[in-house]
Amino acid sequence: MGQLIKNVLRRHGLLLAFLVFLAVVAVNAEAFLTPGNILDVLRQVSITGMMALGVTFVVLTGRLDLSVGSLLTLLTVIVVDQHNISGPFPAIVMTLLAGAAIGAFNGLLIGFVGLNALIVTLAMLSFLQGLVLFYSGGSNVNVQNAQDTWFAVFGRGSFLGLPVPVLLFLSGAIVAGLVLAFTTFGRRIYAVGGNETASIFSGINAPWTVFWTYVVSGLTTAIAAVIMGSRVMGAQNTIGQGYELTVLAGVILGGTSLLGGSGSIWRTVIGISMLGFIQNGLLLLGYPYYVQWLVTWAVIIIAVWIDLGAKRGRIFA
């Protein structure tokens, strides 16, 4: 019995704790589980969720991408600014190309040059934030004639009663999940993350695999920037600050291993959703905003401890 309890806690401990949290909040905040609040939470997590889809690809190879927060800021500023200059469609295309290009640069340095992913993406985080200030001149940007553009549909629209951001997130999750589960590229990602040396000897081009995961991360962050710009109809120079930690926390909370080779898109969807409901529940219970950051920190520490302990077989040692 004792071993069974340990196995359950190791595999589903965070989920059980989350269910207890849901019950406590539901009892103390009547609005928590109402359809309106649930849709609001899903709308809020659609941006971090879209980013997390690409980061999951990266983490599955045993790498990290901590630049996504600053990248979100830069791309949101670009899509809003270019919307005012060229119109919504060219702005979206330029944003997607910029996201892919920056992701490709990360992938080049990490996959082919062999630099450490943590150092490269931390440096890129700083560089991109500086680039934002250079591009915008330190000023915030807003969509001009907001009432006359169809651009707002990505962040504020709805279809069949569901917010468009949620539909975009779920559609992205379906595509990403199918890629990982049923394509050669997906199998190569798991192989590189599981044992990179063995994958190379098996004929897998590990540098190219790592490279393309960063391109995917850049593209999903670009889509998130389009949603963000459409929702806010503007962009601040710090709009994506801290998102990299929230995204990473959601990926880890979903059970994707930082050591690579283990995890899935649907786990990430669940992890990001759990984090969103936790943050929403804390606000409904009246806790100040900074408590969300403390909880995010605790989630990362506990999830990593469970992951490493499970890998080494001594989580309760």
Domains of the chain as residue ranges with CATH:
11-312 (1.10.3470)
Q: Residue 314 pLDDT more than 60?
A: no
Tell me the average pLDDT across 101-106.
Answer: 97
Contacts of 107 (CB under 8 A, 6+ apart): 210, 211, 212, 213, 214, 215
For 131-145, what is each residue's pLDDT tens digit?
999 988 888 888 888
The predicted model gives 188-205 an average pLDDT of 93
Compute the average pLDDT of residues 267-292.
Answer: 85
Find out whether 280 and 32 touch, Cβ atoms under 8 Å: yes
The yes-or-no verdict on residue 203 having pLDDT over 80 is yes
pLDDT grade for 316, boundaries at 50, 70 and 90: very low
pLDDT of residue 257: 85
pLDDT digits (tens, 9 = 90+) for 69-83: 999 999 999 999 999
The tens digit of pLDDT for each residue in 251-262 reads 988 888 888 888
By DSSP bridging, strand 234-235 and strand 141-142 are: antiparallel
Question: How far is Cα of residue 288 from the mean position of the Cα atoms in its chain?
Answer: 24
Q: How far apart are CA 282 and CA 92, in angstroms?
A: 35
Helices 35-60 and 164-182: crossing angle in degrees, nearest 10, is 30
pLDDT at 146 over 50: yes
Biggest CA–CA distance in the chain, Å, is 66
Instruction: Give the chain's mean pLDDT.
Output: 88
Q: What is the pTM of this model?
A: 0.90
Using alpha carbons, list the distances in angstroms from residue 124 to 109, 132, 201. 11, 12, 31
